[in-house]
């Protein structure tokens, strides 16, 4: 990078946000540069500028585009992404954080188009790269050139989370040296694949491989779907569109049914398993379940990205709500607001650092990363879901306007609960991983994982023994030295009680056993574990800050986040396990939350300034950086073509009236 | 009513829901008739049949109608409502419960059209009836005849909750014997009024009355807006449409700015205050704040209706999620589901009974009803918000499809948090009402309100003294005799601590004092109070049941609801106030919730059968009464016109591709 650093622009002065900006005890620019390196901030600003130049990304007016027009627009936007150099693989390799920053920026600007782009250009090609071999290089080449466009077909109509039960079959035909794909009726149709509905020319298809009458489990195939020149589907396929959704309508999620559909033998992605010309099955794996795990591994990275996407949505919603709250006057300042911002910054931190740390010890790292990503996506997903909703309600009636933007954020974000692993199902992966450590804890043996997320479990018995919350004042309780031990105790206690409950339920069989200890136990365990990890990572980041003011405000956010979660989610457990006795502790935690909110109220606008996207991305009259809420609202309402005109069908009313 | 009772139809047999239906320990028809009288159920069925006959109410296909078409459709639907005899005032007077049932049915079928209808035919006319006098009878007459169509303008762009700060002015002009309306700029424009955007001919406008240079506060005026023959606005007005919203897009919410707009003196609704021909102000009220309260009284009824609307939405969402969960097989039965149904039935009960009870002692009843409705709307609103979201997530990917219906329910329901009193603001009315009783509690004086919702406070000190949860087994804890005292203790404890905190914060002035004790105190107080009331009422209803099986299942729902709320919302308070010590109580509550969920799992489908709307109203492939989820899903997806066709703009992709 030789380009000179782009200077961060000051916000225009003289508006209603000046008051709160003046009260900030830190410099928002310094905070921005503390959260991201100057190089990344510079990249972000370049990307904003580049995207704003393209006509495709200009904000739409009202009324919203039709379903078909949304599709067309998303297609255009995702193809345009491909032409932007800042988004090219080559450029992004310069800095490991560029791809994350790019996704944040793109998701804040145009979520559906961005997901379309990522499925076609990352998910599709990553699967080929991870599971394919040299013979599949031409697919990568063609995808890179934009000649073909891929999608990813795992889910079926009747099975989603339960991947092993997928029923699409791929039978090897020795004579023709091909695989024959079949769907057992509509329930086995592949579905939901983004891009499949209207435009994909190729699909990664997960199917049960059979050869010589023998089943070998799920394998991946590259399957031609549409002729790239005509975009018409090939015979033997019934391909269609899933239609309208709650949000993300720019994505053409599709379904496909195979009827004796033949594909070349070579289209099997054969790194983990292959079929010889004779039809014999060969695999480097002895344990089929290991192969199965590896075949699905491609998804783990996606989850980390989604954690970041949740944060990106959250930032947008918070920017709108915090700025509006600072401008809107109703009796006096609302007191709901300040609780929310804190939900944000932590998740923002965790993503980077989970990846930044330690690249050796890959297999173990893989398992730990899987456990972390399987919990961080649900935590980020649910936290942001609630935060977005709080923001919507905090903006009152005007928050219910389409132009405010909060409805779209909520509706788009909603899908994050479900795809790349349904949240409730996913978080079980984390608790299962943790449960494996319990025998070591009991025997007081050392536990050391690559990212050190569970190392404190080595001291598990000690942590549990006679633990008590000792803080007696709000100030004492807000100290990291008081907070971190509480979370470590929570994880140890929930691990122990989940383990005990599992043992007690064992008689009902493993499936029912696990099922019966999810609510109040295993799920809370996964949540507490990831919260502890996020708080740890956040703390490390804070301690690295040299600016005392920034350290101070981040410390407040740290304490507020930690205590807010305790109050909202863990109070019962704290008393159940005896970490507190007597009411004083609960009161202390609540007092601390309220005091931190009060302290941060005047910092909220500046905090948001440090993470807010520019106005053209935010695209909300309530959240504009100049705070001219009513001016922008007036412009937005009056600019709609129908705002002041009589409806074309006005005479119908007269007709109906006269029929009364 | 001489019509013979309509027989309740059996569900078709031979589908995937048979299994769970067979497991039900009670007869869903008996339950339905236990929840509503036969006369009301009969009315409901007649109304369903009547609505299904009209072409206007047939379900739409995909893609969804354009914004303009949604408006047109809602207009048609709301005008058609007016022609249906079952919905006429005359017919509805036959049974006090008919209007509630009608609203439930209509809201489940077509929410936007129903709200449009209610604003024009209830809110508008009720305001005239309550605040007007004989000289306004012609407005009622014309509205009844459908010659004019009204709306209700209270909210302004810059002020909503803070009603007293409204800035629209109405100045009496003695020479012209008229009032002159003015808005001080866009911030004082009336806004959000349903119907104002495109069709209303008249509006109830709240404006600050001034005469002889003296301000007399907010008063209501009937203001002509559009010529009924042309639907064009009158000069002196800038009337417009608020544009798209998160949901309820069929409603034309509008804004209006007045510029020296003259209306006849007689258009002042003059029951609570009037101006003589000389311009002297006369009012029967000595205390202006009493007059202000009376002027806004019209809204109290609306809130009770909204509580019912929340329940109506909840029933729809639960029907979809429970039936889908019973059919969808993924690993094994999901364990998230069963927790949700319980959120429902209680709110269903509370509405009726709050009204059914006691019609004497009107002024006190008014205050109590205000306190109850100000808390029941937030409780129902927030509970259903969370329940709908749980339902959406519980349906996995297919729950994210537009046709599943859950997105629309959520987006439409969302407005309930905000209108007719923003939830957070509203619930303060309840805590304020309760706080007035504290001096009586301290002096152990009897408290007796018309609906007896707060009578137990008479024993407040006794309830607080040395209280402890005594139940030691799940069975003991599930007993109403164990549960009701817990809630009574919660209300007393929260009342005491809110009062104490308020006293402690008093130095900061009343406004900040109240503000600083909302979170964790006053808000929880309002919530616990209404929960106790709802549980009490539910219990009375249950004890009236003669069928033992129905009593049993309702008792289980009662216990689950009560304990679910304790677990989710009150655990900290329970330990804080010392009602429990040691972890066993928290564990017992959680165990009870899980055990009740397990018991109710097999009852869930039949419970839903008793409250579900018919398929044409539910209009969701996931929730159809025959349980043929995949068949309906296939039909829904394939019937969309674009499902299998290449997009019209397909060549654009080729063009863009070649530009790469
Ligand atoms: C916008 C969007 C885009 C998508 N894009 C793609 C794509 O490109 N390619 C693709 O292949 N798929 C895609 N999907 C599908 C997605 O991956 C699945 O929806 C997801 O895996 C969940 O599966 P499901 O829908 O079958 O839910 P289900 O597995 O049916 O889950 C339904 C409910 O049951 C519960 N449940 C299930 N099993 C258990 C258990 N063991 N314990 C407790 N609870 C359980 C879940 O928590 C959930 O609440 C997409 C989905 C969406 C919404
Ligand atoms: C679909 C829809 C239909 C509507 N129809 C009509 C209609 O027909 N006629 C009409 O007149 N109006 C209508 N309204 C407007 C509605 O009544 C207002 O939106 C509502 O009263 C809330 O006011 P507000 O929007 O100004 O919110 P605000 O009062 O600005 O509230 C914003 C936030 O501040 C918080 N807040 C405000 N004051 C306090 C306080 N004292 N303590 C704590 N928190 C506080 C609130 O909790 C909220 O989170 C409609 C609104 C919607 C969304």
Please name which ligand lies nearest the alpha carbon of B340.
1
Q: Which chain B residues touch A240 with a CB distance below 8 Å?
A: 637-638, 643-644
Rounded Cα gap, residues B150 and A193, in angstroms = 48
- Counting from 1 in the atom list of ligand 2, the atom nearest the Cα of B160 is 26
> Is B582 within a domain?
yes
Rounded Cα gap, residues A95 and A136, in angstroms = 28
In degrees and rounded to multiples of 5, residue A486 shows phi and psi of -60, -45
A549 catalytic residue (yes or no): no
Inter-residue contact A586 to A553 (CB < 8 Å): no
Q: Which residue has the tokens 């790349």?
A: A420
Inter-residue contact A491 to A612 (CB < 8 Å): no
B119 and B152 housed in the same domain? no
B593 and B466 housed in the same domain? yes
* Residues near B373 by beta carbon (within 8 Å), at least 6 away in sequence: B300, B303, B304, B307, B354
Burial of B230 (0-12, 13-18, 19+ CB in 10 A): exposed
> How far apart are the CA of A55 and the nearest CA of chain B, in angstroms?
14
For the annotated binding site of B, the residues are: 155, 194
> Is A239 within a domain?
yes
A382-402 confidence digits (pLDDT tens): 999 999 999 999 999 999 999
Region A313-342 average pLDDT? 70
Q: How far is the CA of B649 from the centre of ligand 2 (A)?
A: 43
Q: How many CB pairs below 8 A link A and B?
A: 319
Identify the CA nearest to A16 among candidates A632, A636, A638, A635. A632
Give the closest residue (by CA) to ligand 1 atom 23.
Answer: A160
pLDDT at B355: 34
What's the half-sphere exposure (Cβ side, CA atoms, 13 Å) at B389? 19
Least CB-CB distance to B335: which of A71, A238, A518? A518
Rounded Cα gap, residues B525 and B497, in angstroms = 9
pLDDT at A305: 86
Region A412-420 average pLDDT? 95
With an 8 Å Cβ cutoff, are B586 and A575 in contact?
Answer: yes
pLDDT at B362: 52
Among A601, A624, A655, identify where a domain stops: A601
3-state DSSP assignment of residue B645:
coil
pLDDT at B511: 73
Radius of gyration (C-alpha) of chain B in whole angstroms: 27
A163 and A257 housed in the same domain? yes
In degrees and rounded to multiples of 5, residue A202 shows phi and psi of -135, 155
Q: How far is the CA of B192 from the centre of ligand 2 (A)?
A: 10
> Is B121 within a domain?
yes
Say if ligand 2 is within 6 A of residue B193 CB.
yes
> Is A369 within a domain?
no
Please name which ligand lies nearest the alpha carbon of A164.
1
Domain count, chain A: 3
Give the closest residue (by CA) to ligand 2 atom 17.
Answer: B419
B91 and B165 housed in the same domain? no
Mutation test residue for ligand 1: of A112, A127, A161, A162, the one with most atoms within 8 Å of CB:
A161
pLDDT at B299: 62
> Is B383 within a domain?
no
B596 and B473 housed in the same domain? yes
Please name which ligand lies nearest the alpha carbon of B163.
2
Searching chain A, which residue's CA lies closest to the CA of residue B82?
A660
pLDDT at B657: 78
Least CB-CB distance to B572: which of A242, A328, A567? A567
Spans of chain B, pLDDT less than 50: 1-2, 4, 332-361
pLDDT at B207: 97
pLDDT at B347: 39
B contact test, residue of A198, A576, A627, A636 with most B CBs within 10 A:
A576
Average pLDDT, chain A: 90
Region A518-523 average pLDDT? 89
Quick one: which H or E segment has residue B343? Answer: helix B342-356
- Segments in A273-361 forming alpha helices (H): 288-296, 298-327, 342-356
- Counting from 1 in the atom list of ligand 1, the atom nearest the Cα of B328 is 30
A38 and A181 housed in the same domain? no
3-state DSSP assignment of residue B356:
helix
A109 and A248 housed in the same domain? no
DSSP state of B428: H
A20-70 confidence digits (pLDDT tens): 999 999 999 999 998 899 999 999 999 999 999 999 999 887 788 999 999
Helical pair B548-565 and B523-544, crossing angle rounded to 10 deg: 170
> Is B577 within a domain?
yes
pLDDT at B296: 78
CATH number at residue B487: 1.20.140.10
Among A95-109, A505-519, B194-208, whose mean pLDDT is lowest?
A505-519
B450 and B510 housed in the same domain? yes
Rounded Cα gap, residues B643 and B634, in angstroms = 11
B450 and B579 housed in the same domain? yes
Rounded Cα gap, residues A142 and A120, in angstroms = 12
Burial of A367 (0-12, 13-18, 19+ CB in 10 A): middle
pLDDT at A6: 59
CATH number at residue B270: 2.40.110.10
Q: Is A155 annotated as a binding residue?
A: yes
Region A79-96 average pLDDT? 94
Cα dist. B314→A247, B391, B518, B608, B610 in Å?
Answer: 21, 9, 27, 11, 14
Q: How far is the CA of A515 from the centre of ligand 1 (A)?
A: 18
Region A89-114 average pLDDT? 94
Q: How far is the CA of B285 from the centre of ligand 2 (A)?
A: 28
Q: Which chain A residues touch B650 with a CB distance below 8 Å?
A: 198-199, 231
Burial of B660 (0-12, 13-18, 19+ CB in 10 A): exposed
Cα dist. B388→A252, B114, B324, B381, B397 in Å?
Answer: 26, 20, 14, 10, 15
Among B576, B601, B626, identify where a domain stops: B601
Say whether pLDDT at A1 is over 60.
no
Higher pLDDT, A74 or A660: A74
B550 and B496 housed in the same domain? yes
Among A284, A305, A335, identify where a domain stops: A284
Q: Which chain B residues touch A511 with a CB distance below 8 Å?
A: 331-332
A349-374 confidence digits (pLDDT tens): 333 333 333 334 455 678 898 899 99
Listing DSSP states for A211-247 in one string gives ETTEEEEEEEEEEE-B-TTT-PBPTTEEEEE---BSS
Say if ligand 2 is within 6 A of residue B152 CB.
yes
Q: How far is the CA of B419 from the centre of ligand 2 (A)?
A: 6
Say if ligand 2 is within 6 A of residue B424 CB.
yes
Region A228-255 average pLDDT? 96
3-state DSSP assignment of residue B362:
helix
Searching chain B, which residue's CA lies closest to the CA of residue A631?
B186
Q: Which chain B residues touch A146 with a CB distance below 8 Å?
A: 657, 660
pLDDT at A221: 98
DSSP state of A188: G
With an 8 Å Cβ cutoff, are A650 and B590 in contact?
Answer: no
Residue ranges making up the domain that contains A542: 441-601
Tell me if the bond preceding A347 is cis, omega within 30° of 0: no
Q: How far is the CA of A73 from the centre of ligand 2 (A)?
A: 34
Give the closest residue (by CA) to ligand 2 atom 25.
Answer: A397
Searching chain B, which residue's CA lies closest to the CA of residue A406?
B246
Say whether pLDDT at A344 is over 50.
no
B175 and B236 housed in the same domain? yes
Q: Which residues of B are catalytic?
A: 420
Say if ligand 2 is within 6 A of residue B415 CB.
yes
pLDDT at A2: 43
Q: Which chain B residues touch A411 with a CB distance below 8 Å?
A: 407, 411
Beta bridge partners of A180: A171, A262
Q: Which chain A residues touch B418 with a CB distance below 8 Å?
A: 393, 396-397, 399-400
What's the half-sphere exposure (Cβ side, CA atoms, 13 Å) at B419? 23
> Is B521 within a domain?
yes
Give the closest residue (by CA) to ligand 2 atom 13.
Answer: B192
Say whether pLDDT at A332 is over 70.
no
Paired sense of beta strands B253-258 and A274-275, if any: unpaired
- Segments in A330-422 forming alpha helices (H): 342-356, 362-394, 406-413
- Counting from 1 in the atom list of ligand 1, the atom nearest the Cα of B394 is 49
B105 and B240 housed in the same domain? no
> Is A453 within a domain?
yes
For ligand 1, residues with CB inside 6 Å are A 119, 152-155, 160-161, 192-194, 248, 253, 415, 418-419, 422, 424-425; B 328, 330-331, 334-336, 393-394, 396-398, 400
């Amino acid at each position: 990078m030789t380009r000179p650093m782009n200077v961060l622009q000051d916000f225009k002065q003289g508006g209603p946000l000046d008051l709160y900006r003046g009260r900030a005890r830190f410099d928002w620019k310094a905070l921005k540069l503390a959260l991201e390196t100057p190089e990344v901030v510079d990249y972000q600003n370049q990307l904003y500028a580049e995207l704003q130049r393209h006509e495709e990304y200009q904000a739409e007016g009202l009324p919203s585009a039709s379903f078909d027009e949304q599709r067309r627009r998303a297609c255009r936007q995702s193809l345009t992404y491909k032409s932007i150099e800042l988004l090219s693989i080559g450029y992004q390799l310069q800095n490991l954080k560029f791809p994350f920053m790019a996704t944040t920026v793109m998701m804040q600007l145009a979520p559906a188009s961005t997901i379309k782009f990522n499925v076609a250009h990352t998910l599709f090609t990553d699967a080929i790269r991870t599971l394919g071999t040299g013979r599949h290089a031409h697919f990568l080449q063609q995808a890179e050139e934009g000649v073909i466009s891929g999608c990813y077909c795992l889910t079926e109509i009747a099975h989603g989370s339960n991947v092993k039960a997928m029923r699409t079959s791929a039978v090897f035909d020795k004579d023709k040296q091909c695989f024959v794909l079949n769907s057992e009726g509509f329930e086995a149709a592949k579905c939901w694949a983004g891009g499949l509905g209207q435009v994909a020319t190729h699909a990664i298809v997960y199917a049960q491989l059979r050869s010589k009458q023998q089943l070998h489990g799920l394998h991946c195939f590259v399957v031609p779907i549409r002729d790239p020149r005509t975009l018409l589907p090939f015979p033997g396929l019934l391909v269609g569109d899933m239609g309208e959704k709650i949000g993300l309508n720019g994505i053409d999620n599709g379904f496909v049914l195979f009827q004796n559909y033949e594909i070349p033998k070579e289209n099997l992605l054969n790194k983990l398993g292959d079929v010889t010309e004779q039809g014999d099955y060969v695999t480097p794996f002895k344990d089929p379940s290991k192969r199965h795990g590896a075949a699905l591994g491609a998804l783990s990275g996606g989850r980390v990205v989604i954690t970041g996407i949740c944060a990106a949505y959250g930032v947008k919603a918070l920017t709108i709500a915090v700025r509006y709250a600072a401008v809107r006057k109703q009796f006096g300042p609302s007191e709901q607001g300040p609780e929310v911002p804190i939900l944000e910054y932590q998740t923002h931190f965790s993503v980077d650092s989970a990846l930044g740390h330690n690249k050796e010890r890959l297999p173990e790292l893989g398992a730990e990363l899987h456990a972390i990503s399987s919990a961080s996506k649900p935590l980020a997903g649910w936290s942001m879901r609630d935060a977005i909703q709080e923001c919507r309600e905090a903006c009152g009636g005007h928050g219910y306007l389409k132009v405010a933007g909060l409805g779209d954020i909520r509706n788009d974000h909603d899908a994050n609960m479900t795809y790349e692993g349904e949240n409730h199902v996913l978080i079980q992966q984390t608790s299962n991983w943790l449960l494996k450590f319990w025998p070591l804890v009991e025997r007081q043996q050392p536990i050391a994982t690559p990212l050190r997320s569970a190392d404190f479990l080595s001291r598990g018995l000690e942590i549990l023994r006679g633990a008590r919350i000792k803080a007696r004042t709000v100030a004492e309780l807000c100290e990291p030295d008081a907070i971190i031990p509480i979370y470590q105790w929570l994880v140890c206690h929930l691990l122990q009680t989940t383990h005990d409950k599992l043992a007690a339920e064992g008689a009902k069989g493993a499936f029912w056993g696990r099922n019966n200890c999810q609510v109040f136990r295993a799920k809370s365990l996964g949540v507490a574990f990831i919260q502890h990890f996020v708080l740890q990572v956040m703390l490390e980041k804070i301690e690295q800050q040299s600016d005392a003011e920034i350290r101070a405000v981040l410390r407040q956010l740290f304490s507020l986040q930690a205590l807010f979660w305790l109050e909202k989610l863990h109070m019962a457990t704290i008393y159940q396990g005896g970490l507190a006795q007597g009411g004083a502790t609960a009161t202390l935690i609540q007092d601390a939350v309220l005091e931190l909110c009060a302290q941060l109220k005047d910092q909220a606008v500046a905090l948001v300034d440090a993470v807010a996207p520019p106005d053209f991305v935010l695209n909300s009259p309530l959240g504009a950086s100049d705070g001219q809420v009513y001016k922008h609202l007036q412009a937005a309402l009056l600019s709609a073509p129908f705002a002041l005109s009589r409806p074309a069908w006005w005479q119908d009313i007269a007709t109906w009236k006269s029929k009364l």
